[in-house]
Amino acid sequence: MYTYFRNWRKNGTWLHIHDSLREWTRIEIERHPSPTEAIIDSQSVKNAAMVTQGVGYDAGKKIKGRKRFMTVDTLGK
């Protein structure tokens, strides 16, 4: 199973599926197929007990761990 996933990731199949679904969804609600706006957000994530490299501290949320960043269009896709 992982071999299929890896091959599809390498040859761009997953990217093509994602782009096609995004365009289809936007066309269904009568929007331009390509997004023109995006929202950038971050989320603090606690680390596993064994992870020590690349660890920071989010003083605002008082969480020791990492931050992950996401970009989505205005539909949240």
The per-residue pLDDT for range 32-77, each reduced to its tens digit, is 998 888 888 887 777 665 555 556 656 666 666 777 788 887 777 6
Q: Please check whether residues 27 and 46 belong to one and the same domain.
A: no
pLDDT at 58: 60
Return all residues near 54 (Cβ < 8 A) that are at least 6 apart: 66
Can you tell me the distance from the alpha carbon of 27 to that of 21, in angstroms, rounded to the nearest whole number?
Answer: 10
pLDDT at 10: 96
Q: Please check whether residues 29 and 41 belong to one and the same domain.
A: no
pLDDT, mean of residues 4-11: 95
pLDDT, mean of residues 12-16: 95
Q: Please check whether residues 47 and 11 belong to one and the same domain.
A: no
Query: Domain range spanning residue 55?
Result: 35-77
**Confidence band for 24, pLDDT divided at 50, 70 and 90:** very high
Q: Please check whether residues 67 and 46 belong to one and the same domain.
A: yes
Give the Cα-Cα-Cα angle 4, 23, 10 (nearest 5 degrees). 25
Q: Please check whether residues 47 and 77 belong to one and the same domain.
A: yes
Q: Please check whether residues 44 and 17 belong to one and the same domain.
A: no
